[in-house]
Amino acid sequence: MVTIDEFKNILLFGPSGVGKTHLATAIAYAATQQRIKTKFITAGDLMIQLESAAATNRLANYFKRTIGIPRLLVIDEFGYVKFSETQANLFFQIINKKYELGSIIITSNLSFTKWKEVLNNDEALTTAILDRLIHHSHLINVTGESYRLKQKREAGLLDISAK
């Protein structure tokens, strides 16, 4: 895959339910079919694993094994959970360790202007993260109506009419 071979990132943005995770999963699957080592994880689960590794003095091993080995790292659902100061700093370390050494796919419901709120309102850290992510990346804004809500409405199970 050219994007992964060139260490480019893919950032998928859009509202909930428009298919960002589906697209990220499809790209990750295609990568695995080409024998590219891939790690798929939600941002929330990533933070839980990082904090657990830090608490047991295994952070360096976690970074090496989970972040360093896969050529493609997919972080799903960035923006649904706000990070503490420690978590924001750990997230920076992940982005920094992957920068120009692998590819990252991030799905998010937030525009870049809102990322600072997730990253403990640390403007310098947010800027450093975005600088590294955007430098070699494809930015994709996924638009449309939530597929889940659309299915429920078409089945007559959801009435969101203007009143």
Mind listing the pLDDT tens digit for each residue in 53-88?
999 999 999 999 999 999 999 999 999 999 999 999
As a dihedral over the C-alpha atoms of residue 34, residue 69, residue 76, residue 25, rounded to 10 degrees, the angle is 10
- List phi, psi (to 5°) of 68: -75, -40
Pairing of the two strands 38-42 and 137-141: unpaired
What is d(CA 88, CA 5) in angstroms, rounded to the nearest whole number? 28
Instruction: Say if CB 70 and CB 39 are below 8 A apart.
Output: yes
pTM, to two decimals:
0.90
Q: Domains, the chain, ranges and CATH?
A: 2-154 (3.40.50.300)
Per-residue pLDDT band at 150 (split at 50, 70, 90): low
Q: Can you list the alpha helix ranges (DSSP code H) found in 34-160?
A: 43-55, 59-62, 85-98, 112-118, 123-135, 147-154
The number of angstroms, rounded, from the C-alpha of 1 to the middle of its chain's C-alpha atoms is 19
**Of 109, 146, 124, 139, which Cα lies nearest the Cα of 9?**
139
Mean pLDDT of the chain: 93
148 or 25, greater pLDDT: 25
For 95-129, the pLDDT digits (tens) are 999 999 999 999 999 999 999 999 999 999 999 99
Structure letter (DSSP) for residue 16: T
Residue 84: per-residue pLDDT: 97
